[in-house]
Structure 1
Amino acid sequence: MDDKNTRIDIDQLASTLRGKLLQRSPLPAQCCIFRVPSTLRRHNQTVFAPRLVSIGPLHHGVKNLQAMEKLKLWYLDCLLARAPTIQTSLECFIEAIRGTVERISECYEEVELSTDEMVEMMVLDSCFIIELFRKHAIIVQPHVDDPIFKTSWMRKDLLNDLLLLENQLPWFVLERLFNLTNADPDPK
């Protein structure tokens, strides 16, 4: 092989590699919700995966968690119907979250959702958690047919899922929607 061909190969490889270089860190400083490292996962995969409910984008769309999506929709409907105001409309929730999608995405190690998918998931998951906590604290009376409050195993599995590292929402999202839905914003 002559020096000219070697030079072309080096230049091509350098050009290819240069095209792959990143101008910014692959993990923004705001990244705070990560996947569990494979070194921990290898001992027991199931310990780190939700069994009942997916919260946030890292397990979004997992087939065995789809049954809870209907319950999330019911909880959102309950929240919207309880005290409808301009501030507690679905449109207001969507608007409050839509402007923060980039900030939300930066909180996660990896996200492969469109803006609309991210907004829908954040509104649905956040309102589910807010409504669940209000029902648990009996700020809102649970419905007699609510499966979470009718079966103790469901509450236990749900609590475990909500504590998983990969099954989290950014705090500012929960706070923003909580403040919009708080009937008494200045409790004493």
Structure 2
Amino acid sequence: MRLSYPLSGDVSIAKWTHLIKETLGIVRAKSIDNCIYEVPKELQKVNEDAYRPHIVSIGPLHEGDHDLQAMDEHKWRYMLHLLQRNPEQEKTLNECSMAIFSLEAKARGSYAKTIKFNTYELAEILLVDGCFIIELLRFSGMHFEDDSDLIFHNDWMIPTLRHDLGLLESQIPFFVLEHLLEICVPHNLELHTTQVSIHKIADLALYFFQVKMSGEASRRI
């Protein structure tokens, strides 16, 4: 980026150096906060299909894409499933909502691109998508027997979701997932687990992607 100088008059070396320092401070602050970037347009042109989600929008960068809206109802259903695991569902939802609103500004600053959605819209995206991801990751390591579920009873869905969740532009900040998991899956919740901790989002994510990498698709918690 190029600095702005007065249209007329000389700029002293001291003033010029001060502008350099200010700009370095801005760059440093952004480099710390920004962690979710867009794929450069020129790179997308090489193979656009490889860099765009196929069935689900995660985060604000592809929110509203007409081709991805068919999954919206499933995201809300998975959020409901996650909340229903708790005996005090309304309390859990209230705690999740308050947590998301407290994190909204920090989450917004995590995106290199300016987010077009207002506070309430972005908070909704973070809440629904975050709960969807957590429940998806947990379902992937459980013996799932709900025949009405579209995702786990279609052989092509999980590989496609792995592709979409791994994309650079299909992300929400990791700290959002950590906060939601801590609220929705309390440590006193008893589940039979043998392969992965249900209380660590990193472990759940690694398991979800390693099933594909290791070929152990039949392994269950």
Alpha-carbon spacing, 1:60–1:101, altered in 2? closer, same or farther (3 Å): same
Tell me, in whole angstroms, the C-alpha distance in 2 between the residues paired with 1:96 and 1:142.
32
Residue 133 of structure 1 is matched in structure 2 by 137
**Percentage of identical aligned residues:** 35
Number of aligned residue pairs: give it.
168
**Equivalent residues in 2 for 1:1-188, closer than 5 Å:** 24-25=26-27, 27=30, 29-85=32-88, 89-110=92-113, 111-138=115-142, 141=144, 143-184=146-187
Whether the 8 Å contact between 1:51 and 1:157 is mirrored in structure 2 is: yes
8 A Cα contact 1:87 1:180, kept in partner: no
- 8 Å CA contact 2:54–2:160 kept in 1: the answer is yes
Structure 2 portions without partners, runs of 5+: 1-6, 9-22, 190-196, 200-221
| Secondary structure class of the residue paired with 1:147 | coil
Higher relative contact order (CA 8 A, sep 6+): 1
The offset of 1:185, in angstroms, is: 5.6
Confirm or deny: 8 A CA contact 2:144 2:152 kept in the other structure: no
Local SS of the residue matching 2:146: coil
Q: Distance in 1 between matches of 2:60 and 2:174?
A: 15
Deviation at 1:29, TM superposition (A): 2.4
Partner Cα distance (1:28, 1:185) in 2: 38
Tell me if structure 1 keeps the 8 A contact 2:86–2:92. Answer: no
Q: Structure 1 residues 118, 82: closer, same or farther in 2, change over 3 A? A: same
Give per-residue Cα distances to partners, 1:9-64, cap 9 Å, x unaligned: x56xxxxxxxxxx8944945210110011231121112100010010111111111
Change (3 A) 1:145 1:180: same
SS at match of 1:152: coil
Cα distance in 2 for partners of 1:76, 1:159 equals 19
Partner amino acid, structure 1, of 2:127: V
Alpha carbons 1:161, 1:167 under 8 Å: kept:
yes
Unaligned runs of 5+ in 1: 1-9, 12-21
2:92–2:183 contact (8 Å) kept in structure 1: no
TM-score, length-normalised on structure 2? 0.69
Q: TM-score, normalised by structure 1?
A: 0.81
**Map of 1:16 onto structure 2:** none
- Tell me which residue corresponds to 2:20: none
- Inter-CA distance 135–86: structure 2 relative to 1 (3 Å threshold): closer
Task: Work out the CA distance in 2 between the residues paired with 1:57 and 1:27.
Answer: 19
